[in-house]
Amino acid sequence: MSSVMIRCPVTGRAVSTQIETEPYVLRALPRIAARMNCSACGQEHVWATDEAWLDEEPLPQATEDQEAADIAGSEAA
């Protein structure tokens, strides 16, 4: 089981929805909205299944730059 992750629109951080599932379950879901209390900013967010990912999967495209920056930083250090 993996945690379903979304991106916090306030902080831009990946945060866990506290929901755990399997990849095939997440992909099989129709596009539905859910609410969560965000652990990053403390607000309530409405998120949709088509914008969520599992924490063991590669991050979505939008976060690739940040991930690359992190890798570059660790190599430099």
Binding site for Zn ion (CB under 5 A): 8, 10, 38, 40-41
Question: What is the closest distance, in whole angstroms, from the C-beta atom of residue 64 to Zn ion in the complex?
Answer: 21
By C-beta, is 38 or 54 nearer to Zn ion?
Answer: 38
CA distance 73 to 48: 32
Element spanning 36, H or E: strand 33-37
Question: What is the closest distance, in whole angstroms, from the C-beta atom of residue 22 to Zn ion in the complex?
Answer: 25
By C-beta, is 10 or 28 nearer to Zn ion?
Answer: 10
By C-beta, is 31 or 35 nearer to Zn ion?
Answer: 35
CA distance 63 to 41: 18
Residue 8: closest CA among 59, 49, 43, 50 = 43
